[in-house]
Amino acid sequence: MDVLNKTAQPISAKKTRLDPTVLAHSTQAAAEAFIAAGTAENTLRSYRSALNYWQAWLQLRYDRVFGDDAIPVPVVVQFIVDHLARPAADGTWHHLLPIESDLALCKAGVKGKPGPLAFSTVSHRLAVLGKWHKLKQWDNPCAAPAVAALLREAGKAQVRQGIRVRKKTALTREPLQALLATCSDGLRGLRDKALLLLAWSGGGRRRSEVVTLRIEDLRRLDEETWLYALGATKTETSGQVREKPLRGAAARALDTWLKAAPCSTGPIFRRIRKYGQITETALSGDAVARMIKRRAKLAGLEGDWAAHSLRSGFVTEAGRQGVPLGEVMAMTEHRSVNTVMGYFQAGALLSSRATRLLEDDDQEVSPGPE
């Protein structure tokens, strides 16, 4: 079938020849702008931080400018051994970055303190470098077998030496109740209580998701239930709006906050000035993290608390109470079962009979044959 309209007039315009094998600078810039616009702000911030570090390190170690061309594989290998500590024959741990370079990076503000970096930090900076190369249509040096093998074995070496990945403390039911008990300080307490309960009971929401929620995203289902709509999140960018339920104590706390700070549009959780003036500005993600740390301190809780404690705590508590994994993931919107299973299993094991084999048997255990 001839789908061409042969009666159409030929297109005439000033010809601009493009090379089909190379991206024009304007096209490259437009592609980078799209990627930036479609990436979460927190992720963009971490990308900028990683690329700034690469730029400073390359200048110090190789006297070269980052971004001029692809990074060779030996340079990436050097980056790894410069920043990951390895065991020496005398039992001590060392990394190859010269102390003067280490101090210079700290002075430049791209490194927090002298010494080796965490394995997770090095892995993240390699991942960002890989993304940068793909965007530039260069060969990714981080995918080279030598780099992959070195990183894999370095990770094993650190694990064998007792170095573990630190995770934020999960905010399960009891510590959450302790935090809520501190929310007795007027308007700020009403806001923080509603925020904590929405983020936790509403599916372990990320702080970026909580602070972008608006009044317009709420829908009343009944006296004990709100529905709130999620738009674009870290893992969901299809544009589909998903409604999540908020029930019981969380719904009542939200009621109380909305009555105390009535507003028909705009952010649900807003900044409060020193003398109790509620602004129209949304609370920031960093402010949420600081609030959780502050209230954990007020409650006298020990642990490494952060905004992520709400998300991990929700999953852990759900496992502890025997909620099916599928229902949990429907609320949290985790895409990877592996990601959520660590927290879920930890909670499930807390109520497992396998952890109370002796306690469940009141009779004395008879000794086995000698």
Q: Which residue range forms the structural domain that includes residue 107?
A: 25-160
For β-strands 86-87 and 93-94, DSSP reports them as: antiparallel
Phi/psi at 69 (5° precision): -160, 180
Are residues 234 and 305 both part of a single domain?
yes
pLDDT at site 2: 46
Are residues 207 and 133 both part of a single domain?
no
Are residues 179 and 106 both part of a single domain?
no
Could you tell me if residue 4 is inside a domain? no
Identity of residue 319 = G
Q: First and final CA of the chain: distance in angstroms?
A: 89
Are residues 332 and 305 both part of a single domain?
yes
Are residues 212 and 341 both part of a single domain?
yes
Sign of CA dihedral 219, 221, 223, 226: negative
Cα gap 159→169, rounded to integer Å: 20
Could you tell me if residue 205 is inside a domain? yes
Q: For position 248, which CATH number holds? A: 1.10.443.10
- Eight-state DSSP code of residue 138: -
Could you tell me if residue 323 is inside a domain? yes
Could you tell me if residue 315 is inside a domain? yes
Closest-CA residue to 179 (of 305, 76, 264): 305
Tokens of residue 85, six digits: 């500590």
Are residues 123 and 213 both part of a single domain?
no
pLDDT, tens digit (0-9, with 9 covering 90-100), for 146-161? 999 999 998 888 777 7
Are residues 41 and 152 both part of a single domain?
yes
Tokens of residue 225, six digits: 């239930």
Are residues 183 and 135 both part of a single domain?
no
User: 337 burial class (0-12, 13-18, 19+ CB within 10 angstroms)?
Assistant: exposed
Could you tell me if residue 93 is inside a domain? yes
> In Å, how far are 32, 138, 235, 304, 325 from 170, measured between CA atoms?
36, 41, 21, 9, 17
Where a domain ends, among 95, 127, 160? 160
Number of domains forming the structure of the chain = 2
Are residues 199 and 101 both part of a single domain?
no
> In Å, how far are 254, 296, 351, 355, 362 from 174, measured between CA atoms?
20, 12, 15, 20, 28
Tokens of residue 293, six digits: 């740390």
Q: For position 73, which CATH number holds? A: 1.10.150.130
Are residues 29 and 138 both part of a single domain?
yes
- Eight-state DSSP code of residue 137: T
Are residues 124 and 190 both part of a single domain?
no
Cα gap 214→221, rounded to integer Å: 17
pLDDT at site 44: 77
Cα gap 192→261, rounded to integer Å: 13
pLDDT at site 11: 45
Residues of the chain with pLDDT under 70: 1-42, 91, 162-166, 232-239, 359-370
Where a domain ends, among 104, 130, 160? 160
Q: How many CB atoms lie within 10 A of CB 268?
A: 25
Q: How many residues comprise the chain? A: 370
Phi/psi at 23 (5° precision): -80, 135
Could you tell me if residue 32 is inside a domain? yes
pLDDT, tens digit (0-9, with 9 covering 90-100), for 266-298? 999 999 998 889 999 999 999 999 999 999 999
Cα gap 205→254, rounded to integer Å: 15
> In Å, how far are 54, 283, 350 from 16, measured between CA atoms?
37, 48, 67
Where a domain ends, among 121, 136, 160? 160
Could you tell me if residue 324 is inside a domain? yes
Could you tell me if residue 105 is inside a domain? yes
Type and span of the H or E element at 282: strand 278-282
Are residues 50 and 131 both part of a single domain?
yes
pTM of the model as a whole: 0.66
